[in-house]
Amino acid sequence: MPANPDYPELTAGREHWRYLPDPDCLKDRVILVTGAGDGIGRAAAKTFACHGAHVILLGRTREKLEAVFDWITARTDTRPVIVPCDLEALNDEASQALVAAIDGEFGQLHGVLHNASLLGLRVPIAHYDTHQWARVMQVNVNAQFLLTRDLLGLLEASGDASVVFTSSSVGRQGRAYWGAYAVSKFATEGLCQVLADEHEHAGMIRFNSLNPGATRTGMRAAAYPAENPAQVATAESRMDIYLYLFEAASRHVNGAALDARDWPGPTDS
């Protein structure tokens, strides 16, 4: 059953899903997606909207965000919002202004998908440039810390919120030449674990990390230029676990490090 007949990629992707959620499983939930203009973030934003969520589209390229916005408003009854924002420049003031804008628009927040990342250089640590290292750490770690810290109040206000940090296999086992990207993903896992432990007892916000696995995007093509993209899974085929982590069925899952490729899904476990 297609989630939305106007989104054929999602319909095709669902053939690979192991969990088929209710079409309205995210109805009226407000979810912030970073890096929503391209790749996995774009697929997630569209998928969430197709399942009823009001999606806050954060990214650095306005035109890409507008294309996602237009797509969503043409095909769903949800209320997306565009937030052009370069996470490389995010600081206390910018983060707090963003939170105030979300508060003014929605008053609460049910989810954050920390998805935007920089790949950075693919060189040995011995040759890693200091400025490039700092850029990757700012986008992949510092920005996630700032946004999460400042959004905690709005997430708690929803009473049932989900924060997902996007990891990578090189963030769980270090690999040569992955440099700052790999280190940033280890830091992401650490941030997720600390938050999950801090909020375990209150039970209002769950924090989990997710490795999407090899997925056909611009970042994947940059990392593996010799690979045939047709042999790599589409972002839409990964969306079952993304939906699961933001809907009520995952309410009990906190502090988990998940992998989209081997996720059994609630019906298989």
Q: Please select the residue that binds ligand NDP; options are 78, 166, 208, 209, rule is CB under 6 A.
A: 166
**Closer CB to ligand NDP, residue 107 or residue 218?**
218
Cβ pair 75, 7 in contact under 8 A: yes
Return the half-sphere exposure (C-beta side, CA atoms, 13 A cut-off) of residue 100: 6
Residue 68 or residue 158: which is nearer to ligand NDP going by CB? 68
155 three-class SS: helix
For residues 205 and 161, the answer to whether their CB atoms sit within 8 Å is yes
Q: How far is the CB of 159 from ligand NDP (least distance, A)?
A: 28
Cα-Cα-Cα-Cα dihedral sign, residues 105, 107, 113, 117? positive
Q: Is 74 helix (H, G, I), strand (E, B) or coil?
A: helix
Report the distance separating Cα 247 and Cα 265, nearest Å.
Answer: 13
Catalytic residues: 181
Q: Contact with ligand NDP (CB under 6 A): which of 3, 26, 32, 38?
A: 38
One residue of 212, 236, 237, 244 binding ligand NDP per CB under 6 A: 212
Cβ neighbors of 134 (< 8 A, separation 6 or more) are: none
Q: Closer to ligand NDP by CB, 194 or 222: give it.
A: 222
Site stretch for ligand NDP (CB under 6 A), options 11-19, 33-41, 123-131, 155-163: 33-41
Residue 94 Cβ, how far from ligand NDP at the closest point, in Å? 11
Span 54-113, contacts to ligand NDP by CB under 6 A: 59-61, 64, 85-88
Which residue lies nearer to ligand NDP by CB, 95 or 115? Answer: 115
Q: Which stretch binds ligand NDP (CB under 6 A): 75-83, 114-122, 192-200, 246-254?
A: 114-122
Q: Are the C-beta atoms of residues 207 and 192 closer than 8 Å to each other?
A: yes
Question: Edge to edge, what strands does the sheet with 54-59 contain?
Answer: 81-84, 54-59, 30-34, 111-114, 161-166, 205-211, 257-259
Ranges within 167-206 binding ligand NDP (CB under 6 A): 168
Interface contacts to ligand NDP, rule CB under 6 A: 35, 37-41, 59-61, 64, 85-88, 115-118, 139, 166, 168, 211-212, 214-215, 217-220
